[in-house]
A and B are shown apart, each in its own frame.
Chain A
């Protein structure tokens, strides 16, 4: 295996833009109409001249990873649900394809046009309408940036039930449409469990008003759940009511260095036994991940030596003394059992933030090294790292390639990344469909939290039964008979 530092030298800093249509040369543009000046003027009439953009659209056309890029010529930014409805009604009538877009931080090419689809940006629907400080509920529009939402509810002693590295750019609407996971699923559960109500606009312009602030409401089918995770293919989410957890008073972070993945699993098990309800994040990373953030971003490891694996555990509670007692017991047990050979505990907020930033900056660090093939999979915990080892072995003859594994250990969610200096179909052919076949064989999920988007749409069969896929297609036809909403995404277009 090529030593890390050598790999990093072979792969110069680069960015790769692959036009969605070229990455999949067999993908043909659907039979949609093309935008005319009349369409543009009509949209301007609905959303105002400020809501129309026809120039400098790279930022909307290209994804955050610089791996896919479309050719849109128009971005429409409505500022109310009525404007969203009017825009969609027109698009549906004219058979114009639409891509709803939030913060454009998605990792599977689901938020960008493939051809000339109109980008419907939610950026101007950014109002936080109401916070109920007694019930712990917030009502807001889909275009609110997650960090802003977090700050605002923080003023009342509440926190948002999800947190991820993209918090400074992603929109809550996008988080819902992709059913984002993030760091705190292990503590607060999946996002869909915190959604009390939602308002969506259907592709034909109909407003489906499911807004509610009730914690318990068993009155009929829970239709909003269909839209959560639908990746903008069934309609546009415009408003949401979220249930909020209390902001924890005492937050602690510990990082352990382990010799093997088996040790990581033991560490994890012990920590959950000792820490129980105060656990708020369980993450792991391998030594190549740590070296990448050290070398590329200059973030130093708090441990003196390098270790094959690192396990990061965060606790959040309402009483510092109680939490410290639990943590001290946990640490004693971990070292007694020998499943960690070293570790550090944060003694200040700054240190805690730094330790979490090591984990959160893996993706940005790897992005700077070369082309990233990213796989976000759910696997039985004991098999999580063996997939990384198998891929590493497959890629051993590919010059400049290296593979890393990290992720949400507490959710059995592995982020497998393979990095090569440039995008190369030969490397891709070694990885796919092998990764999907392996995951399918282990009955895992080929997309734990990132979604299907454009990149994984054709692999849906590896994690879903044909009957399920057929039902998804039927539902898509119910909501979007003209197929204008985010075409080429989520559902396979080329089985």
Chain B
């Protein structure tokens, strides 16, 4: 089987190594001047698509991202990793924090109508909202099978075998194409964007769109009421010997 066309989604998020600060109005986190990068799970998604293309299972990779103008950088990174062309669905800066999974799934379902891919790969969840919903919503809207939390994907005639990471361990399923899958961290080790590829990526096409043009209403259905830091962890106590340890445990009612 060869010549599949894949649509991969990626999201521009605050870099996972950055120390997050809550905004003074407690309605979100500070994003101004903060380093952003591609959502780590989306890197796995792109990497998987590129590997499938290297194995000649896939013939074209289209990468799409919904977000402000800077999302183009994220798309460029995906192009540098090996995607063929990009689609940027632009939303005004500042409103992107309210772009929720339901809206994104609707946008992607319109993109699927337009691009007619055989497979959609998304990251399992975004590290800013940790929603883990878009893949499932999209599969529902398209009435396509879904393989979520994928840690191994292999293709054979008209179907995919997927190993899923679940609470009890691993689950193997088979889905027929077309399908939607979501990438987990252990799916692969994403490649670095090499500089020659970064330069080549500048020449690849990125198509611009808006939710309006796609006929999608992105009004948020959920309202963020409050964002706070987790409570400060109390320091532990160091004890000099076992006797003291036992005493302290008794004091605190643990023994």
Contact = CB atoms under 8 A, between A and B. Distances in A.
Interface string B2-30: 00000000000001111000000000000
B38 A347 contact: yes
A345 interface: yes
Contacts of A353: 17
B227 interface: no
Interface string A330-342: 0110110000101
Contacts of A343: 194-196
Given A250-B35, A350-B16, A344 B199 contact: no
Contact of A345 (B15, B38, B198): B198
B35 A349 contact: yes
Given A249-B33, A250-B35, A331-B198, A345 B193 contact: yes
B166 to A, nearest CB: 26
Nearest to A254: B195
Interface in A218-253: 249-251
Contacts of B199: 331-332, 335
B195 A335 contact: yes
A348 interface: yes
B176 interface: no
Contacts of A254: 195
A453 to B, nearest CB: 35
Contacts of A347: 37-38, 77, 192-193
Interface residues of A, number: 26
Given A350-B17, A353-B17, A345 B35 contact: no
A302 interface: yes
B90 to A, nearest CB: 18
Nearest to A352: B17
A303 interface: yes
A344 B77 CA distance: 12
Contact of A302 (B16, B37, B38, B192): B192
Contacts of B192: 302-303, 344-347, 351
B194 A303 contact: yes
Contacts of A334: 195
Contact of B37 (A249, A300, A349): A349
A249 to B, nearest CB: 6
Contact of A342 (B35, B38, B40, B194): B194
Given A320-B35, A349-B18, A353-B17, A342 B195 contact: yes
A302 to B, nearest CB: 4
Interface in B29-57: 33, 35, 37-38, 40
A307 B15 CA distance: 30
Interface in A271-306: 300, 302-304
Nearest to B81: A347
Nearest to A353: B17
A344 B33 contact: no
Contacts of A342: 194-196
A294 to B, nearest CB: 14
B47 to A, nearest CB: 13
Contacts of A348: 15-17, 37-38, 40
Contacts of B16: 348-350
Contacts of A256: 195
B38 to A, nearest CB: 7
Contacts of B198: 331, 345
A344 B17 contact: no
Contacts of B189: 300
A347 B77 CA distance: 7
A331 B38 contact: no
A345 B195 contact: yes
Interface in B177-228: 189, 192-196, 198-199
B14 to A, nearest CB: 10
Given A320-B35, A343-B194, 11 more contacts: A254-B195, A300-B189, A303-B194, A331-B195, A334-B195, A335-B195, A342-B195, A345-B193, A347-B193, A348-B17, A351-B192
Interface of B: 15-18, 33, 35, 37-38, 40, 77, 189, 192-196, 198-199
- Enumerate the 3 nearest inter-chain pairs by beta-carbon distance, A residue then B residue, closest first: A349-B17, A343-B195, A348-B37
7 contacts: A302-B192, A303-B192, A320-B35, A331-B195, A343-B196, A344-B194, A348-B40
